[in-house]
């Protein structure tokens, strides 16, 4: 199982600072740290931090994608793209910028060919993927990525629908990798993460409270380093 860290640079998603991730890496003598962020903003901070400490570091982004431009019946879904080298970092930055300029904040896959991904590893996240959308949103995502040789992530965070997603992935006969998304350090930090997410997601209407944070489907304290340690030791 591979731990995938997400930091506070992915606003509203994690309460892990760069210093906390570094401390986890050093305390547990990790051979390398893999980040899967939702924005590019923290790359320079982490690159300098881990270079200074001599810890290998892999950077990836979750990017919304659609097959073609103009088909608004298609629901955007997420891909996880990891840089294989320095050229891959440049490719990630360009793709993130291009997606940000799209009116749906999505990368248009038909604008790219296989060679555009040669410096990137393409993965399908367990949550918010086209499989997730088609399972729970009535088949509104249709992306063609077989030519990109993707790896499909498998997670188990005690969500009631995890088994449904895994069943679909198992039926596809694709390459898979067990992973654990790390959003906080200990299970006891879950309440803090819950209120942080609620504050960041606040919009019009009834404000979130500790008893009713208005976070649909966010019901697991398993997205943490403590849980990863529990299942790997």
Give tens-digit pLDDT for 75-87.
899 999 999 999 9
pLDDT at 139: 65
Question: Rounded distance, CA 89 to CA 119, Å?
Answer: 8
pLDDT at 192: 85
Single pTM value for the model: 0.90
Q: Give the CATH class of 2-232.
A: alpha beta
Question: Rounded distance, CA 95 to CA 150, Å?
Answer: 17
pLDDT at 201: 65
Question: Rounded distance, CA 202 to CA 209, Å?
Answer: 10
- Start-end of H helices in the chain: 18-27, 43-53, 86-101, 130-136, 162-172, 190-200, 225-232
State the 10-residue block means of pLDDT for the chain, 233 residues long.
96 93 97 96 95 96 91 87 97 95 91 96 95 81 89 93 93 96 92 77 51 52 94 90
3 and 184 in contact (C-beta within 8 Å)? no
Q: Which residue has the tokens 């990630």?
A: 92
How would you class 165 by CB atoms within 10 Å of its CB: exposed for 0-12, middle for 13-18, buried for 19 or more? buried
What tokens were used for 127? Answer: 């949550």
Question: Rounded distance, CA 54 to CA 8, Å?
Answer: 22
Question: Rounded distance, CA 226 to CA 186, Å?
Answer: 5
Question: Rounded distance, CA 60 to CA 43, Å?
Answer: 9
pLDDT at 73: 78
Look at strands 77-83 and 57-66 and give their pairing: antiparallel
How would you class 210 by CB atoms within 10 Å of its CB: exposed for 0-12, middle for 13-18, buried for 19 or more? exposed
Give tens-digit pLDDT for 192-217.
887 777 777 655 445 545 444 444 44
Which residues fall within 8 angstroms of residue 105, CB to CB, at 6 or more apart?
A: 64, 76, 99
């Amino acid at each position: 199982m591979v731990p995938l860290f997400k930091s506070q640079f992915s606003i509203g998603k994690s309460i892990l600072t760069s210093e906390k991730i570094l401390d986890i890496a050093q305390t547990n003598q990790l051979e390398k740290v893999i980040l899967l962020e939702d924005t590019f903003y923290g790359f320079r901070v982490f690159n300098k931090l881990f270079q200074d400490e001599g810890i290998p570091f892999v950077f990836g982004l979750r990017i919304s994608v659609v097959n073609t431009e103009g088909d608004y019946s298609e629901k955007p879904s997420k891909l996880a793209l990891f840089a294989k080298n320095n050229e891959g970092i440049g490719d990630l930055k360009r793709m993130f910028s291009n997606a940000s300029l799209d009116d749906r904040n999505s990368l248009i896959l038909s604008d790219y060919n296989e060679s555009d991904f040669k410096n990137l590893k393409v993965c399908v996240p367990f949550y918010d993927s086209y499989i997730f959308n088609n399972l729970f949103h009535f088949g509104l995502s249709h992306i063609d990525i077989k030519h990109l040789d993707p790896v499909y992530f498998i997670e188990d965070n005690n969500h009631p629908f995890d088994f449904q997603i895994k069943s679909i992935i198992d039926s596809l006969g694709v390459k898979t990798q067990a992973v654990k998304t790390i959003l906080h350090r200990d299970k006891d930090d879950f309440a803090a993460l819950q209120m942080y997410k609620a504050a960041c997601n606040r919009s019009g209407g009834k404000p979130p409270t500790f008893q009713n944070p208005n976070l649909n489907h966010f019901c697991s304290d398993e997205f943490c380093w403590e849980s990863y340690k529990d299942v790997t030791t």
